Chains A and B, each alone.
Chain A
Amino acid sequence: MSNPASRENGVDGPITINGETVRAIDEIVKRYPVAEAALLPVLHKVQDQLGWLPVSALDWVAKRLGLPKTRVYGVTSFYTMFKRQKPGKHRIEICTNISCSLLGAEHLRDHIAKKLNIKPGETTEDGRITFDEVECLGSCGTAPVMLVDDKFYEKLTPEKVDDVLDKLNKDDLEAGGND
């Protein structure tokens, strides 16, 4: 009988952690007196390579650092940046916390949702864009703000948001389009 969890957690084929990631991880582990302490940066490195953290990646990390799998899972699920669902090619995260909210962030959130035709937390049907509403991004002096693929966009207006979305579309088309 197979573990139903592996089905629930989506596509989970075998993964290959590339040499560059492995080397980076080995360097990171050396910075700590115990391997466990490297868990957060190591998970970041693996996620940087894979785009998310499938079951097999958690297994790999647990083995590499000599940790119980439950501990790795517990940590992964505690921190919001670790993605347990495969995200779209691009990630748009808009802050709606207090300073951004005062300057209309909810309007922008609804604007983007309408434009992408998805709710916050979802990925577009073509798997291209994952959109989410997030907590304070530490950019309150230039509110409202959003992160697109880890890059800050500040003092947003609907027009600025449109420009960013259009540019994403254009870049993808130029890069081959059929992603």
Chain B
Amino acid sequence: MTEKILTARFEKPDSYRLSSYVEDGGYEALKKALSKTPDEIIDIVKAAGLRGRGGAGFPAGVKWSFVPKESEKPKYLCVNGDEGEPGTFKDRYIMELDPHAIIEGAAIASYAFGAHVAYIYIRGEFKLPIERVENALAEARQAGFLGANILDSGYDLDIWVHPGAGAYVCGEETALIESNEGHRGMPRIKPPFPAIVGLFGGPTVVNNIETLSYVPHIINKGPEWFAAMGPEKNGGTKLFGVSGHVKRPGLYELRMGTPLRKIIYEVCGGMRGDKELKAVIPGGSSTPILTPGEIDVNMDYDSLAKIGTMFGSGAIIVIEEGTCIPRLAARLAKFYAHESCGQCTPCREGVPWIAKILDRVENGMGLPGDLDQVLKICDNIQGKTICPLGDACAMPIRAMIVKFRAEFERHVEEGGCPFGPTPTPWDSES
């Protein structure tokens, strides 16, 4: 069940150094890849069924194949390390503990679709990850894994770190591209898609850190090996970040398709203080919430989509009985209001409005029509904005209200929150 691919080297001392990486067979995949044609690489990754681990789940190989072969403008790879989705903390670990895996994956991807410059966009707050990746890049350059004529193949590639500066929306690929160009992180209208017109106007692929880190392994061990590890079209393992009210929160590498119940009750040791489960957010804060009756689901893209939620970034937030859902909803809405870029009216105006109403509901000042009003606004945000940030607020809020409506109504009727202050771990453990 636990299959260590990406996390295999995490425990090693100096795992982030080139010497350690090479000792474990690092950059062999790059050597191998450079001896193949770019199209062969794309076919291998397609066959592996590697899907984007950032949240959208788009097959990586297919994404690469969208990039035109001939292009007047240079092509670019942007590596998305702007990990900001609440609940998510996987890419940070890879950057800190195995940065060369990212670099090797990025190099193979760049070779596959013909980029000669790549940028690793890292959240500005991640000082240590930035330092580790920058050092790793310097090591790789020094060793000839990057730069001109890599490993005598005639292929040139430079990779640079581009630090973000505190904007969740930059995790969206076109906002990331804008930010990489030195602009405000305002998402672009699509089409044209980045694969055609992206960074500096050139064809561009944006791939998540985790996605690219799988690539060297796929090249080394073959696509069949990878595909076999998960259900159909959901190959490989996944880094699941579990947080909230479980006994052992943390980062777990598990096969795609591992049942959610198993993750909560076996992998993470069950609920803290053996309390009852109240709800689970399965894939980061923007994915619709699940009730205890819905946790017999396999954790993969398609299974979660079937029950009306999303796989997202694999960030599982576990919530125990006694937690106030309206309070969570209000907190989430406040987050999205803070992060809206301000371009589209429904998101810019609607999300702060939802936040304000939910805050008033939580604080006992809610009015009878408030919940329907919020649902109506959610409906008029979803699918009506340039980027998915509006959806990322509307979908989970809608699910919380629909699935826990009685609780919200009780707040309005009773003119206050029936739960009292949030319990604290230090109190319950003492």
Contact = CB atoms under 8 A, between A and B. Distances in A.
Q: Direct A–B touching in the complex (beta carbon < 8 Å)?
A: yes
A139 B166 contact: no
Contacts of B89: 138-142
A38 interface: yes
Nearest to A158: B426
Contacts of A31: 158, 160
A138 B184 contact: no
A162 B125 CA distance: 23
B86 A75 contact: no
Interface in B144-196: 158, 160, 162-168, 179-185
A135 interface: yes
Interface stretch (B243-251, B253-261, B412-420): B243-251
Interface size class of B (residues with CB under 8 A): 35 or more
Given A43-B165, A101-B422, A150 B182 contact: no
A97 B425 contact: no
B376 interface: no
Chain B CB within 10 Å, residue with most, of A32, A36, A80, A141: A141
A136 B183 contact: no
A94 B161 CA distance: 26
Given A98-B285, A141-B251, A41 B424 contact: no
B299 interface: no
Interface string A11-54: 00000000000000000000111101111110110000000000
A103 interface: yes
B163 A98 contact: no
B74 interface: yes
B125 A137 contact: yes
A147 interface: yes
B10 interface: no
Given A75-B183, A75-B184, A135-B335, A40 B163 contact: yes
Nearest to B421: A107
Nearest to A103: B425
Given A102-B317, A135-B86, A81 B180 contact: no
Contacts of A99: 86-87, 243-244, 317
Contacts of A107: 421-422, 424
B164 A79 contact: yes
A21 B140 CA distance: 24
Given A139-B92, A141-B249, A150-B127, A36 B181 contact: yes
Interface string A95-114: 01111011110110000000
A33 B160 CA distance: 13
A39 B251 CA distance: 34
Chain B CB within 10 Å, residue with most, of A43, A102, A152: A102
B13 interface: no
25 contacts: A33-B200, A34-B200, A40-B124, A75-B182, A79-B166, A81-B165, A81-B166, A98-B285, A98-B331, A99-B244, A101-B422, A102-B319, A102-B323, A135-B338, A136-B85, A138-B84, A139-B89, A140-B241, A140-B243, A141-B89, A141-B242, A141-B243, A143-B243, A147-B125, A150-B127
* 4 closest Cβ pairs, A-B complex: A104-B424, A79-B165, A39-B182, A80-B166
Interface of B: 74, 83-89, 91-92, 123-128, 158, 160, 162-168, 179-185, 200, 241-245, 249-251, 281, 285, 315, 317, 319, 323, 327-328, 331-332, 335, 338-339, 341, 421-426
Given A97-B331, A159-B426, 13 more contacts: A40-B179, A44-B124, A75-B184, A98-B281, A104-B423, A107-B421, A107-B424, A135-B168, A135-B335, A135-B338, A140-B315, A140-B317, A142-B249
